[in-house]
Each structure stands twice: as C-alpha cells, then as structure tokens.
Copies of this chain bind each other. A is one copy, B any other.
Amino acid sequence: METKGISKAVIKRLPRYYRYLGELLEENVERISSNDLSIKMKVTASQIRQDLNNFGGFGQQGYGYNVQHLYSEIGKILGLETTHPMIILGAGNLGQALANYSDFEKRGFKLVGVFDINPDLEGVPLRNVKIQMLKDLPLFLKETPVEIAILTLPKNNAKEIADILIANGIKAIWNFAHIDLDTPEDVIVENVHLSESLMTLSYNISQYQQEHKDRRSNS
C-alpha cells in the first residue's frame, strides 16, 4: 500500500476514525454513509472521503462504508494487525496506569517488561510482568524482542535510559518524560508532554477570561 506523503493531520485523524468505527461495531452497525459518519465525528463528509482516499477509498457509491471492513483496513494502516512487544521504563503511577490499560493489549501492544530503579519494586508483578531493575535492561534487550519502549521516568534519568535503549536497537520510543530526546533519525519518538497540554489549557482559559472581560467592559 502506498501511503507516502500523507499529511500529519490525516494521520492524527486515523486513530479517531478507528475509535468511532469500533464504537459502531459495538453497536452492531454494519454500514454507514459518509454523511452519518461525518455527523457522528463532527467533520465534514468531504473531509472523511478525502482522508480515506489517501489510502484507496473503501467507500461505495450509494452504499457508504462497510463498518467492519473499514475498521479492519484502518487497523492495518495503523499497524494494529501485528503484535508490538513493549516495555515500560519507570514503574511509578504513570507507568502503572499505562501497564494496566487493557485496551492496549487488545490492539496488539503487548507488555513484555517493566523496569525501575527502586529495589523495593524488584519482582513485584505488574499486569503479570515482574518488575526488573534498570541495570538488567541491556541484557534483557539482547534476549527479548522489543519494539516500543515507554519512558515514564523523571527527565534526569530519561536521557541516559534513552541512550541505552537506542544502543540496544530500540527504534520506537513513547516518551512521557518532560524532555525532548536527542535521537538518531531512524528512531521514532512520539511525545506526550502532559505539562504542555495543561499549559495549553490554561492559555485558553486566560484567553477566554480576557475576551469575556473585554466584552463586559465594552458593553
């Protein structure tokens, strides 16, 4: 399948299509028109058609979309048809929260290791995986196929651990540490910077309050 040159905006929307189609499946909906899908998702029907045309379409004139087919095709595009073994670095609250997301495993993201620096946690099971010590990480990576490393460590440790991961062949990092990682070109990093998300919210709050005040003082 040819998917080069697809814009980031389209790629960001794909998981949302996938989520909505999954909900339709749960409701036993077999087919849906692009109009109905557009109402549900609050994007225009032409946007949906345009987005999906990037991957060859999937719709049929006068029929709309077969929900199961579209769901599994988008799943394939998102790489969800294969298993992605992953490890969590940092078994604090956030690491535990991610380890316990049952939805991840359903979609092929399989937890195969959890590492921490705190000796009290050694051997404690987290979703059937025993927590190991970070010093054992390099050996583990030599012996176990791992695709995704999830960084839920404080920023001071994140850099060092990222270097160890990369030196041991990890090509995909889901980074929750409050830092931009310096990685080679062939390593894919997806950042979740929670503080920055919260600041975006507070920016929008203060903008709203400002506008509200302006409007009141103008009236």
Residues of A within 8 A of B (CB): 1, 3-4, 11-12, 14-16, 18-19, 42, 77-80, 82, 84, 92-94, 96-98, 100-101, 103-104, 107-109, 147-148, 171-172, 174, 178, 180, 186, 188, 190, 192-208, 210-211
Contact across chains for B190 and A79 when beta carbons are under 8 A apart: no
B104 touches A203 (CB 8 A): no
| List of B residues within 8 angstroms of A196 by Cβ | 12, 15-16, 19
Give the chain B neighbours of A207 by CB distance below 8 A: 3
Number of copies: 2
Given known pairs A199-B15, A205-B84, the reply for A192 and B190 (CB within 8 Å) is: no
Q: Which residue of B lies closest to A209 (CB)?
A: B79
Contact across chains for B19 and A194 when beta carbons are under 8 A apart: no
Q: Is the interface of A mostly helix, strand, loop or mixed?
A: helix
**Is B204 a contact of A190 with CB atoms below 8 Å?**
yes
List residues of chain B with CB within 8 A of the CB of A104. Answer: 195, 198
Check B208–A188 contact: CB distance below 8 A: yes
Closest Cβ–Cβ distance, residue A138 to chain B (whole Å): 22
- 30 A-B pairs within 8 Å (CB atoms) are namely A4-B211, A11-B204, A12-B196, A15-B199, A18-B199, A19-B178, A19-B196, A77-B203, A77-B206, A78-B206, A79-B202, A82-B206, A84-B202, A84-B205, A92-B97, A93-B93, A97-B97, A98-B194, A101-B195, A103-B178, A103-B195, A104-B195, A107-B195, A107-B199, A171-B208, A172-B204, A190-B204, A192-B192, A192-B194, A192-B197
